[in-house]
Structure 1
Amino acid sequence: MLQIRHLMIHSTLVLTLSLCGGSVNAEQILIQQARLIQGDSPTASMPMDVLLEKGKIVAIASNLSRKTRMGVRLIDGKGQFLIPGLVDSHVHLEGIPGYMGKRAEDQMMLEQAFQQMPRSYAYFGFTTVQDLTGDPRFIAEWNSAPAGPQAHYCSPVTIPNGYPASWMDKELQFQVPGTKYMLFDPAQAQVYPTHFHPEAHTPEAVVRAAKQDGARCIKVFYETGFGPKKDLPVPSVELIQAVVKHAKLLKLPVYLHGNSQAAYEFALKTGVTTLVHGLWHETKLANQIANQTRLQEIAEEIARAGIAVQPTIQVLYGEQEMTNPNFFQHPELANVMPAELLDWYQTPAGQKMAQLIAADFDPANQTPASLYKTVQSRYQPALTIVKKMTAALNRQGAKIVFGSDTPSGPFYTQFPGVNGRWEMDRWLEAGMSLSQLFKALTIENARAMDLEDTIGSIAVGKQADLLLLRANPLETLAAYDQISYVILRGKAHQRESLSAKSIGKSNH
């Protein structure tokens, strides 16, 4: 699938370039009289002018109009709010959500989808993303797209037969490119093939290889299984402690996949930087006695340890929405999914994953509406605990980091861009404030990714990744739906030009 995607990206580059209508190509852009909002002390400034040149912010002042040369492109920001571009620090960019085939007749649909996905992130204001299991070659090709967020990536550090390697054939797991970052696990010494050299797969060697390849972070996993995969092996505390030690020496954050109480306990023992999921399962591999007391203690300990947490609440909503009979009536889907792909998702082939989820709920004896209610009731306990734990972490002053996990699996209900926007809704439902959300989407994610000197705020010398909004995001969440311009590395795009509705159209 990776090779097919690479070929499609190259073969559609010319077509993609023709879809950049609504963008401003001038070398200099002057945004006039917009009110600026910064992350650390979010308040709206007095009206200011901001001058952009060669992808950078070069000047900020109350009136720059008289000091700019002829030919500068003017954008009227009067009555609007200029904010840093949004950062989603947990995505998965490879593949099209829910599409697993290779049918020749789907080629045009796939080409359009690959074109649109970067634009869909940008349509919702995301100018920087971080792929937590990325491939350096693919990320380089993603970043060649003319309109989309700049991508960074983590290297996935795994053990044999554990998550996510367990989803592959037992032999294939040692052949894929990611094997370069597979650890030698002494507890499974007998499973490795003869060509696997343990000395090249120590924690130090694996972390060093990831750093040399350009990764900005390491991702490790504590997952005992779900669905058809159960009782998976997990790495030892000592093994991941060694990974963390060497990663910190190379200034690489360590992200831990884990969504249970046991995983949170593992994070505390190993000293990882960030937990990339909320606590969805309070009793998975944990003593059910007095669990509420222990969860409160864990929240306090996570805060004291300085471990950040990404709640990723929308992941659970996305899974249950696969059985929502009215999902495709959502008005924003036409802006992020090309029409042909949107239609395909509603065919029997596009509904295979939805049918797999529904199979556990006796769908033959329920109406679509009643099936959806049944599924919602099954997900309610996990949603309740993750919101409670997120609120507890917030009360304790823990670092809450914005990441959407788009998509967490083959789910069209977690489509690029819009899934991140829906995660914003989940934050407010969990008790986070608009100010906290704004900071998490901008400066705090920039700091977490060690990009504070480049993005996350509006300052001279920083990369010109900006949004111009018609409403104040500190006053209403709806402001994120009222973007007039998305500015990507100094190039300004009218928001509607990034919509999937423009696919196949010329915008001159």
Structure 2
Amino acid sequence: MKLKGVFAAALLLAGSALTAAAGAGVTAVTGVTVIPMDSERSIPNQTVVIADGRIVAIAEAGTVTLPVGADRIDGAGRYLMPGLADMHAHIYGFNNEEEEVAYTPVAEAQLLNYAATGVTLVRDAGGSPGHFSYRSRVSAGDWIGPDLFVASPIFEGERNVWDFTVKVTDPSAVEPLVADYAETGYWGLKIYHTTSSEVFDAIMASAQAHELPVMGHVPFDVGIDATLESGISSIEHLRGYDFDGVPVASLWADGGRSRERFSSWNRMTLERRDELVSKTVAAGVWNVPTLAVNRMLFDPATRTRVIEHPRFTRLLPAMQQGMQDLAGLDAIFSAESRDALGEAYPVMLEFIKALSDAGAGLMTGTDSAVPGYVPGFTVIDEIQSFAEAGLTPFQALQASTIAPARYLGIADDRGTVAVGKRADLVVLNSNPLEDLSALWDLSGVFLNGRWHSLADLEAAMDEQSAVAAE
């Protein structure tokens, strides 16, 4: 009775929206099982009505009178849930006209591939002016893709890893940069492990002054304990936990890519693990572990599974080549280091389980499109990695739905299926609460209320690939 009352109230709230729409732009998914992700439950035989980009009604099938002209999607035997999130992505951006010509088609393909795997929200972990152009095109419906939250260009230090980052060695240079990023509209700031302790402190102070969150790697010169106390909002790749106890000089000697660094997981005592978990929870710091990335580095079978996926051939030729040729990454990480990473992987999984059990915030992220990490594909791999760590399917799905929404401060608008919320949704052909591989069995996706069937998405991917091959 209580559940019916909730839906009755939802219909009352939705009535004016349905009437105003008069069928135009109204879509209803009928007879679907709803997985709202507000708790571990599923609600069978529901009709979900969407208009103007919002969920305007949820009720038992057959109890909603739809306006003439409403589009209907048969949801019988299917499951509707919130869209997924990649909270650590790298969409190809641009800073000048030459880069715009080169990278815009790749970015469009990346975003489309995300949509085709049920991803409706992406936090880009190293933005550029081009990303704002992409976001506008997606918002206007000119491109098919997820909503973009764009972090600043990456802050690095004297011994920078990448040429495209912003190298800052003088703390006094930080405030003008942060002020500019805030005015431009970047969601937050991204730091790298090469940042000096002095510049790190300046970044954190400026970020607080401009009310910008900070995400990133734990700097070698700062360490995990001080970073957890700094006010950082999210730590990426478990960076910092994974070199705890390694001398700073050793980290700088090879950029932190040594066997010594990765073996630190196996040297970490349970007491130290529990201490770090407690500090993480107390600080309110979230983690984006990118477990699937680590596995890709040391487990060739993981690469093979992606290459053999039926949808792989629909990727841009350049994306396929990047997945098949990981020589660049294999050159950065020696065979010895990759072996150490493989040996440490079970301990990393135990660490994730300990964070989850303690109530620490966890989110899915992929590092796509680092060579080999396919946008969208790796999000599902990451969710399954969370389950491998011992999280239930529901907990693993939370890390890609309601958890990112809470972290971003938009849980009143995203992350669950409820009346009034933005219609960023996926429709699946089987139940992901029973088997997470159901995430691969996509029927279609709603992006800000716009319905895209899997057939339409795959046709768009085929068209992009054909154009790129010309």
In 1, Cα distance between equivalents of 2:52 and 2:223: 45
Which deviations, in whole Å up to 9, do the C-alpha atoms of 1:245-288 show, x marking residues without a partner? 44345443221313989642232231211111223334433797
Cross-structure match for 2:331: 356
Which deviations, in whole Å up to 9, do the C-alpha atoms of 1:113-145 show, x marking residues without a partner? 544321211111101101011124323225414
**Correspondent of 2:41 among 37, 40, 43:** 43
1:342 Cα deviation from its structure 2 partner: 6.1
1:380 Cα deviation from its structure 2 partner: 1.4
Cross-structure match for 2:186: 215
User: Do the aligned partners of residues 322 and 167 (structure 1) sit closer, same or farther apart at CA in structure 2, a change above 3 Å counting?
Assistant: farther
User: Do the aligned partners of residues 215 and 324 (structure 1) sit closer, same or farther apart at CA in structure 2, a change above 3 Å counting?
Assistant: closer
User: Do the aligned partners of residues 495 and 436 (structure 1) sit closer, same or farther apart at CA in structure 2, a change above 3 Å counting?
Assistant: same
1:424 aligns with 2:383: yes
In 2, Cα distance between equivalents of 1:151 and 1:116: 14
Query: Pairwise mapping of residues 261-410 of structure 1 onto structure 2 (< 5 A)?
Result: 263-278=223-238, 279-285=241-247, 291-292=268-269, 293-321=271-299, 326=304, 329-332=307-310, 334=312, 337-338=315-316, 340-341=317-318, 344-345=321-322, 350=325, 352-353=327-328, 356=331, 360-361=334-335, 377-407=339-369, 409=370
User: 283-292 vs 446-455, which deviates more?
Assistant: 283-292
Q: Secondary structure at the match of 1:144?
A: helix
In 2, Cα distance between equivalents of 1:352 and 1:376: 13
In 2, Cα distance between equivalents of 1:259 and 1:390: 21
CA contact under 8 A between 1:261 and 1:283: conserved in structure 2? no
User: Do the aligned partners of residues 303 and 486 (structure 1) sit closer, same or farther apart at CA in structure 2, a change above 3 Å counting?
Assistant: same
1:351 Cα deviation from its structure 2 partner: 5.8
Cross-structure match for 1:60: 58
User: Do the aligned partners of residues 305 and 401 (structure 1) sit closer, same or farther apart at CA in structure 2, a change above 3 Å counting?
Assistant: same
User: 49-58 vs 127-136, which deviates more?
Assistant: 49-58
1:85 Cα deviation from its structure 2 partner: 1.0
Give the partner amino acid of 2:31.
Q
**Correspondent of 1:137 among 124, 130, 135:** 130
Give the partner amino acid of 2:297.
E
Cross-structure match for 2:196: 234
Q: Secondary structure at the match of 1:444?
A: helix
CA contact under 8 A between 1:32 and 1:78: conserved in structure 2? yes
**Correspondent of 1:119 among 93, 101, 112:** 112
Cross-structure match for 1:150: 147
**Correspondent of 1:167 among 162, 168, 190:** 162
CA contact under 8 A between 1:31 and 1:76: conserved in structure 2? yes
In 1, Cα distance between equivalents of 2:201 and 2:233: 12
1:467 Cα deviation from its structure 2 partner: 0.7
CA contact under 8 A between 1:39 and 1:439: conserved in structure 2? yes
1:428 Cα deviation from its structure 2 partner: 1.1
How many residues were matched structurally? 417
1:252 aligns with 2:212: yes
TM-score between the two structures when normalised by the length of structure 2: 0.77
1:185 aligns with 2:185: no
1:28 Cα deviation from its structure 2 partner: 1.4
Q: CA RMSD in A?
A: 3.6
1:466 Cα deviation from its structure 2 partner: 0.7
Which deviations, in whole Å up to 9, do the C-alpha atoms of 1:485-505 show, x marking residues without a partner? 111111111123323446467
CA contact under 8 A between 2:80 and 2:427: conserved in structure 1? yes
CA contact under 8 A between 1:124 and 1:417: conserved in structure 2? yes
In 2, Cα distance between equivalents of 1:385 and 1:458: 35
In 2, Cα distance between equivalents of 1:399 and 1:441: 11
In 1, Cα distance between equivalents of 2:109 and 2:418: 30
1:325 Cα deviation from its structure 2 partner: 8.2
1:404 Cα deviation from its structure 2 partner: 1.9
1:474 Cα deviation from its structure 2 partner: 1.7
1:185 Cα deviation from its structure 2 partner: 2.6
Query: Pairwise mapping of residues 189-204 of structure 1 onto structure 2 (< 5 A)?
Result: 198=172, 201-203=173-175
Gaps of 5+ in 1: 1-24, 169-175, 187-197, 224-232, 362-373
Instruction: Point out which structure has higher relative CO (alpha carbons under 8 A, 6+ apart).
Output: 1
**Correspondent of 1:488 among 434, 444, 447:** 447
In 1, Cα distance between equivalents of 2:131 and 2:300: 28
Which deviations, in whole Å up to 9, do the C-alpha atoms of 1:308-363 show, x marking residues without a partner? 1111111212223579884664224525523x33664588xx564266369x55xx
Q: Secondary structure at the match of 1:454?
A: coil
**Correspondent of 2:83 among 85, 105, 110:** 85
CA contact under 8 A between 1:113 and 1:337: conserved in structure 2? no
TM-score between the two structures when normalised by the length of structure 1: 0.72
User: Do the aligned partners of residues 476 and 382 (structure 1) sit closer, same or farther apart at CA in structure 2, a change above 3 Å counting?
Assistant: same
CA contact under 8 A between 2:281 and 2:359: conserved in structure 1? yes
In 2, Cα distance between equivalents of 1:259 and 1:420: 26
- Give the fraction of aligned pairs with identical amino acids, expressed as a percent: 24
Q: Secondary structure at the match of 1:462?
A: coil
User: 273-282 vs 30-39, which deviates more?
Assistant: 273-282
CA contact under 8 A between 1:134 and 1:153: conserved in structure 2? yes
Which deviations, in whole Å up to 9, do the C-alpha atoms of 1:410-430 show, x marking residues without a partner? x2x211111111111211111
